[in-house]
């Protein structure tokens, strides 16, 4: 991550182009520490979420049952919300906050569900 200063100088003479200068600036040690903390938190959250969640067969027998089935999707979402430990809840809120905070660098977080029928979880990321 780098820090820049942009200087825009509009031209007031006809035919002369405007000037935009981009100058790289040094980051302070505090800014570097904040950046490192953010990226570390982001990676820790990603690692946490990458573990995925096993959906009980009694809840949803096949992962493909979710396709186009809003009541089944809602049942999964309710189960997920009701069956998290406090650490998992904190992790998910942290992930949501980080996703908002670092949207500029296009970070996406997923929660992966694994189903009893071993269907491809790539199709069921929320």
Q: What is the DSSP code (8-state) at residue 107?
A: -
| Structural domain span for residue 114 | 28-124
Using alpha carbons, select from 49, 31, 65, 64 the residue that is nearest to residue 109.
49
Q: Give every CB contact of residue 109 below 8 A, 6+ residues apart in sequence.
A: 45, 46, 49, 95, 96, 98, 99
**92 vs 103, residue with greater confidence:** 92
Per-residue pLDDT, 126: 46
Pair of tokens at residue 80? 């997920």
The answer to whether 87 and 31 are in contact (CB under 8 A) is no
Distance CA 48, CA 40 (A): 12
Q: Give every CB contact of residue 80 below 8 A, 6+ residues apart in sequence.
A: 53, 111, 113
For residue 11, being part of any structural domain is answered with no
pLDDT at 112 over 50: yes
Share of the chain above pLDDT 70, in %: 73
For residue 43, being part of any structural domain is answered with yes
pLDDT digits (tens, 9 = 90+) for 27-77: 888 888 888 887 777 777 666 656 677 888 898 888 888 888 889 889 988
Per-residue pLDDT, 49: 58
For residue 13, being part of any structural domain is answered with no
The torsion angle over the Cα atoms of residues 43, 117, 65 and 126, rounded to 10 degrees, is 0
pLDDT at 87 over 80: no
For residue 15, being part of any structural domain is answered with no
Report the domain count for the chain.
1
For residue 118, being part of any structural domain is answered with yes
Using alpha carbons, select from 115, 116, 109 the residue that is nearest to residue 91.
109
For residue 65, being part of any structural domain is answered with yes
């Amino acid at each position: 991550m780098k820090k820049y200063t942009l200087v825009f100088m509009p031209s007031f003479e006809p035919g002369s182009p405007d000037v935009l200068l981009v100058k790289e600036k040094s980051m302070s040690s505090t800014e570097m520490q904040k950046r490192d903390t953010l990226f570390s938190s982001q990676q820790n959250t990603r690692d946490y979420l990458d573990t995925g969640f096993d959906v009980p067969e009694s809840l949803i027998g096949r992962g493909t049952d979710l396709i186009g089935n809003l009541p089944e999707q809602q049942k999964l979402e309710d189960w997920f919300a009701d069956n998290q430990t406090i650490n998992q809840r904190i992790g998910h809120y942290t992930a949501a906050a980080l996703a908002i905070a670092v949207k500029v660098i296009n970070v996406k977080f997923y929660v992966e569900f694994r189903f009893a029928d071993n269907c491809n979880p790539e199709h069921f990321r929320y």
